[in-house]
Amino acid sequence: MLAGKLFTIEQEQQQADAATYGILWNASHPVFEGHFPGKPVVPGVCMMQSVQELLERSLQHKVLLKKAGNMKFLNMIDPNANPQTEISLQYKEQEGEIKVTAALKFEALTFMKFQGTFVHA
């Protein structure tokens, strides 16, 4: 949905139960015309959707969010000032659920932290 349009994947590292993605936000995407004109900010729902899409890429199947136990938006992502973001995922599948911890950051600046549960779609 967003990959290839709102962001592109520049770097990918897969490990057992973890992945790290380097992404580049597309500052000319139409979402920024309304969020917000002249001062673009990546919407929180788009940050969360990027986590889901990258988790699906790592697992190679679709997932649905069951529970967002802890989600913190710590800093705004201005795609002009911070076009690059690293998204790290740690996940563990157990009893039909996928427990996920994720973070969006660039160097020492953290934009979002997430802990939650997904299920297979």
Number of domains in the chain: 1
| Residue 2 is assigned to a structural domain of this protein | no
| Residue 55 is assigned to a structural domain of this protein | yes
pTM over 0.85: yes
| Residue 47 is assigned to a structural domain of this protein | yes
Amino acid 111: pLDDT:
98
pLDDT tens for each residue of 73-116? 999 999 999 999 999 999 999 999 999 999 999 999 999 999 99
CATH of the domain at 48: 3.10.129.10
Amino acid 116: pLDDT:
98
Amino acid 10: pLDDT:
98
- Residue 34 belongs to domain spanning: 7-120
pLDDT tens for each residue of 41-66? 999 999 999 999 999 999 999 999 99
| Residue 60 is assigned to a structural domain of this protein | yes
**Three-state secondary structure readout of the chain:** CCECCCEEEEEEEEECCEEEEEEEECCCCCHHHHCCCCCCCCCHHHHHHHHHHHHHHHHCCCEEEEEEEEEEECCCCCCCCCCEEEEEEEEEEECCEEEEEEEEEECCEEEEEEEEEEEEC
